Structure 1
Amino acid sequence: MEGSYQYGGWVLVGLGIYMVLMLLVGWYASKKVQGTEDYLVAGRRLGLFLCTGTLFATWFGSGTCMGGAGNAYIFGNQGVIFDPWGAALCLFLAGFFFARLMRRGRYLTLVDLFQLRYGNGMGILSAISLTVAEMGWVGAQLVGFGTIIHFFSGLPLGWGIAISTLILVVYTYLGGMWSVTLTDVFQMIILTVGMIVMLVVAVPLAGGWGEIFSSHTSNMMELPTWSFLPEKGDAGFLYYTGYVGWFYWLAAWMAIGLGSIPAQDLMQRTLSAKDEKVASYSSYLAGLLYVTVGMMPVVIGLIYFKLNPNLGPEDALNKILLFMATDHLNPFFAVVFVSALVAALMSSSDSAILAASSMVGYNAYKILKPDVTTEQTLKATRIAVPIVTGISLILALYFEAIYNLMVISWSVLLVSLFAPYVAAYFWKGANRLGALASYVAGFVAWIVGYYAYLPMTLEANKVSPDCLPPETFASVATTVEGVGQVYFDWAMWDALYISSVWALIASVVALVVVSLLTRSMDPPMPLVDIDGEPMPVRNWMGIFGKA
């Protein structure tokens, strides 16, 4: 019961102290901000430790912690292919293919690349997609933060989300990328310690590591616990079989694995690195950290199913780690662990807020007013911080679903920007019209695919009153005409994920076909750096590239 934890006051006091520390860091970082480059990319002077820390902490948010534990509880390993597995893949791919080139271009935002390579139209469209994706990502973190405050104080979830929003706005507004980097590294340490503490307590409760890895179905849906591939028979991938199951599986890897590659918060850290070598190596190290620490909440979710297999879907999706903390940790370690959860979601939130605000305040302002000064863009970016966060707050209050809100944010980039982004570097024949066609085709195919697959996913997510407790059934069931009682949220997300594969295919085909058909009337623009100088595409292969 929310607000009933005996030591909830201790936890709230600990969180209050933690929030004050973060605000002080923001104030300290604000003293180092001298201009737009300092605010957006920390003066391009992050070393390997700081760059790795902020990359890892940015990716490791409430979706990985709270959402990952919940999805493992319900679906086992199949439920977390999106994150942490797909997210770790993203970091490795970014380090190998893109980090050196992005840092070489010395852009201030990812929109700079799209604008210089494909023109203002694509610059505007990319800014829209990137901003929407980042705001969805922030919304997922705010839901996590609000859930924690709601759980320990009994305040309505909306109030918890609003309080967290205010704190994030203040310290991100003050220090920009310097503030985000310093808090990210501190939060990385806190959350790693917290996860280790919980794991040390939780593993013996399940009977040891052997029992965890030998169990075949330690999850609500009775799927093979450690399955990486679609299973034979009815299980498939999340119970979707045939080519649809394989499409869902591909979508699970691609949503964050590919969709997050053209993401501002990832590339903002690459651009903040002091050189190409740091940009690349930090991606690899962050990926290794992510796989290691990211699997801890997954294992905890599986363990909690063994301890209490009777949670309803709503509690399972967002509250597993909170139940573990209150049920099995002493008050001191409960405070440490909950602070670690808050560290994880704050480190992701501040990064995404800054990423979206930089595109609104810097890129959009420059497109509308080309002669804008550095001081004006810095002021506009800071003004954008509360605006972006306010819209994210609305998303958080509306959806209240951590994991799915996070994943679908990156699917937006997968279907609209991934193909043009890769082609910007590796295909000289890609032109302005091809990029625009790719953007539109991806979205159109995604929408059409969603409605095409929705009847099937609705049928797959029918629920029976006999299978769930009455209060749980009432909270998840929606009546759909011609289908019956349906868990509509799951059906909706399933249709969006499966159709994203067709959307990516359509985006790639449109890019290639339109570019080839229109290259005489619309010559491809060369790849250039931030100063407009031609940029060579060589020595780009991660650790194999030259320093």
Structure 2
Amino acid sequence: MGVNIPALAVLAVFYIIILVVGIVAGRKVKLKNCKKGSLEANMVAGRDLNVCVGIFTMMATTVGGGYINGVAESVATSGIVWTLAPLGIFLGLIAGGVIYARRMREKKYLTMLDPFQQRYGSAVVILIYLASLCGDIFWTASILSALGSSLAVMTGIDRPIAVCVSSGITVIYTMIGQMIAVAYTDIIQLLFIIAGLGISLPFIFTNENTGNISNNSCDWLGHMESKDSGVWIDLLIAMSFGTIPWQAYFQRVLSVRSGKQAQILSITGAFGALILVLPSIFIGAVATSANWNSTSLGYSPMILNKSSDVLPYVLQEFTPPVISLLGLGAISAAVMSSMDSAILGSSSMFTHNIYSNILRKQASQLELQIIQRLAIICLGSLATVISLSVPILYGLFILAADVVFVIVLPQLTCAIFLQRTNTYGAISGFLAGFILRVGAGEPNFHLPAFIYYPKYDPERGQLFPFRTFAMVCSFITIVIVSELVRLVRRKCGCSCSSSYATENNYDYNIVNESKSRQCCQSNVKSDDREELTSL
């Protein structure tokens, strides 16, 4: 297939618009509460993000490339009953808004890792950051790979070129404008998604080769056997609550002006994401009923093992050229809105929590600004390289997303709401959750299981809700080990109070100072007393 010049021209115009909006927003939008260039400005837009802009950027981040492409693929191959992303993300954003958003915003955190740093210290922060980083990088790489395939289908250009250009544009405006640029480009990208997919639907349904989707509803509705109910429930819970512990989500929650606005942002974004997924569902259903023999493919993408490209193929084959070009813009916009959020989130956590709070506490604002921009370049480049070189991206992302759900969610919950948990419990919970999840195996990654949960089937794999089980075990481990450590410290004697406060980054005013000093008068060395007093 030759290069589609009109498609390339439209794509070029779209990329130029996004780049200009990102650069202009980053330079021209004024912040009331902080100076531009500061960490607060770069990471959370000075906590001055307009709530309407916040809703747009939340929806654009959620309705990303993996969401619209993945839903169409899942409906076409497995049916709506197994397409759990829309319902899971809807429930997850609602839960995030009700339970977590207000608390996080009122604490004025800069990143999702701040509560870990305050309560558990550096070791846990590094572990949680690595888990989150894997999720962000593999997620970005997987959607870049999908974008490359989509652009290759619709423009005829080589996949590596498409991936590198899209990645480069995203990195440039994210690096220059930071959170402000990401938020305002998300508005443009969301409008492209709505226009591109919304306008295409009438043309798709009225095309003579698409057929009537009601005639084969069994195919796109799907079916579930009773023995698969455990798997279904497990995936829904993981998808729902696994939506919450991501920096891309909390970066928006922390950027608005109040805790109440943070809740509005999350809950409104949930309904918006549920509505905006409808075109992808319809396109997936059409793919099962269409007469693919009359297309340039000759066979359906599912038969040709190209199910991940269902959405671009339907747009290309069953809409007029002009409309398919709008769809191309929608796909590109969805991917870029996800990528900028992921790389900005990971770079923010690295700059603030790792570099500034662990590696170089005396770093200046200018140095931190440079470090964050370098981190954006490195993370974007790494995701691009992985997307072009690793053939099992989907399996990597599934595993990373599961690790985020199993490990980060219980850790975050304990750090925010359970004041009695400590570093020892957090590390123990991390190891427990990691072992229980990895032990279940991952077929997409060809990772064999070494833990055989109840109802294990050699052919179908784990039928037990092992993800939820591992997450609950991780949570329980954090609580139990923390309580055991507290008990042991009490029995160890008077040094318990001061050491416990120090190791868990607590302020000394939460410890009974008079009792601690009375207990330790005869046992603590003079230099230890000075340390306690300074606390």
Could you tell me which residue of structure 2 aligns to residue 162 of structure 1?
164
Q: Structure 2 CA distance, aligned partners of 1:397 and 1:292?
A: 32
Could you tell me which residue of structure 2 aligns to residue 537 of structure 1?
none
Q: What's the secondary structure of 1:333's corresponding residue?
A: helix
Letter in 2 for 1:94: G
Could you tell me which residue of structure 2 aligns to residue 74 of structure 1?
77
Could you tell me which residue of structure 2 aligns to residue 439 of structure 1?
430
Letter in 2 for 1:286: G
Alpha-carbon distance, 1:278 to partner: 1.2
Matches within 5 A, 1:306-455: 306-307=289-290, 308=292, 310-312=300-302, 315-366=305-356, 367-399=358-390, 406-450=397-441, 451-452=448-449
Alpha-carbon distance, 1:331 to partner: 1.8
Q: Structure 1 CA distance, aligned partners of 2:257 and 2:70?
A: 33
Relative distance call for 1:400 and 1:292 in structure 2 (3 A) is farther
Matches within 5 A, 1:132-211: 132-204=134-206
Q: Structure 1 CA distance, aligned partners of 2:178 and 2:15?
A: 17
Q: What's the secondary structure of 1:217's corresponding residue?
A: helix
Q: Structure 1 CA distance, aligned partners of 2:112 and 2:153?
A: 38
1:48 and 2:38 aligned: no
Matches within 5 A, 1:443-522: 443-450=434-441, 451-452=448-449, 459-460=459-460, 499-520=466-487, 521=489
1:13 and 2:16 aligned: no
Q: Deviations over 1:55-88 (max 9, x none)?
A: 110111111111210111000013311x122112
Letter in 2 for 1:296: P
Relative distance call for 1:21 and 1:373 in structure 2 (3 A) is same
Letter in 2 for 1:262: P
Alpha-carbon distance, 1:398 to partner: 3.8
Alpha-carbon distance, 1:500 to partner: 2.5
Could you tell me which residue of structure 1 aligns to residue 529 of structure 2?
none
Higher radius of gyration, 1 or 2: 2
Matches within 5 A, 1:56-67: 56-67=59-70
CA contact (8 A) 1:66 1:297 kept: yes
Q: Deviations over 1:300-330 (max 9, x none)?
A: 1011110047433665432111111111211
1:293 and 2:276 aligned: yes
Q: Structure 2 CA distance, aligned partners of 1:199 and 1:457?
A: 41
Could you tell me which residue of structure 1 aligns to residue 225 of structure 2?
231
Q: Deviations over 1:344-374 (max 9, x none)?
A: 1111110101001111222211211112222
Relative distance call for 1:23 and 1:529 in structure 2 (3 A) is farther
Letter in 2 for 1:41: V
Could you tell me which residue of structure 2 aligns to residue 464 of structure 1?
none
1:276 and 2:259 aligned: yes
Could you tell me which residue of structure 2 aligns to residue 481 of structure 1?
none
CA contact (8 A) 1:362 1:380 kept: no
Q: Structure 2 CA distance, aligned partners of 1:530 and 1:299?
A: 53
CA contact (8 A) 1:206 1:306 kept: no
Alpha-carbon distance, 1:41 to partner: 0.8
From 23, 30, 38, give the equivalent of 2:26. 30
Could you tell me which residue of structure 1 aligns to residue 31 of structure 2?
none
Q: Structure 1 CA distance, aligned partners of 2:332 and 2:506?
A: 36
Q: Structure 2 CA distance, aligned partners of 1:84 and 1:310?
A: 24
1:267 and 2:250 aligned: yes
TM-score when normalising by structure 2: 0.82
Relative distance call for 1:138 and 1:280 in structure 2 (3 A) is same
Alpha-carbon distance, 1:214 to partner: 7.5
CA contact (8 A) 1:105 1:530 kept: no
Q: Deviations over 1:180-218 (max 9, x none)?
A: 000001111110122211222334459999x64675422
Letter in 1 for 2:418: W
Letter in 2 for 1:275: S
Q: Structure 2 CA distance, aligned partners of 1:114 and 1:91?
A: 21
Q: Structure 1 CA distance, aligned partners of 2:271 and 2:5?
A: 36
Unaligned runs of 5+ in 1: 220-224, 233-240, 461-493, 535-547
1:253 and 2:232 aligned: no
Letter in 2 for 1:328: F
Relative distance call for 1:402 and 1:29 in structure 2 (3 A) is farther
Could you tell me which residue of structure 1 aligns to residue 218 of structure 2?
217
Q: What's the secondary structure of 1:509's corresponding residue?
A: helix
CA contact (8 A) 1:146 1:157 kept: yes
Relative distance call for 1:40 and 1:499 in structure 2 (3 A) is same
CA contact (8 A) 1:46 1:273 kept: yes
Alpha-carbon distance, 1:387 to partner: 0.6
Out of 427-436 and 513-522, give the one that drifted further: 513-522
CA contact (8 A) 2:154 2:328 kept: no
Q: Structure 2 CA distance, aligned partners of 1:422 and 1:16?
A: 44
Unaligned runs of 5+ in 2: 29-35, 293-298, 442-447, 490-495, 511-535
RMSD of Structure 2 on Structure 1 (CA): 3.0
CA contact (8 A) 2:138 2:393 kept: no
Q: Structure 2 CA distance, aligned partners of 1:217 and 1:13?
A: 40
Alpha-carbon distance, 1:122 to partner: 1.2
Letter in 1 for 2:66: G
Q: Structure 1 CA distance, aligned partners of 2:208 and 2:365?
A: 57
Matches within 5 A, 1:65-104: 65-81=68-84, 83-104=85-106
Alpha-carbon distance, 1:385 to partner: 0.6
Q: What's the secondary structure of 1:218's corresponding residue?
A: helix
Relative distance call for 1:503 and 1:375 in structure 2 (3 A) is same
Relative distance call for 1:311 and 1:333 in structure 2 (3 A) is closer
Q: Structure 1 CA distance, aligned partners of 2:160 and 2:209?
A: 38
Q: Deviations over 1:259-284 (max 9, x none)?
A: 23111000000000111111100111
Relative distance call for 1:398 and 1:67 in structure 2 (3 A) is farther
CA contact (8 A) 1:260 1:413 kept: no
CA contact (8 A) 2:146 2:309 kept: no
Q: Deviations over 1:27-56 (max 9, x none)?
A: 213325432211111111112211111111
Q: What's the secondary structure of 1:177's corresponding residue?
A: helix
Q: Structure 1 CA distance, aligned partners of 2:154 and 2:179?
A: 31
Q: Structure 2 CA distance, aligned partners of 1:356 and 1:197?
A: 35
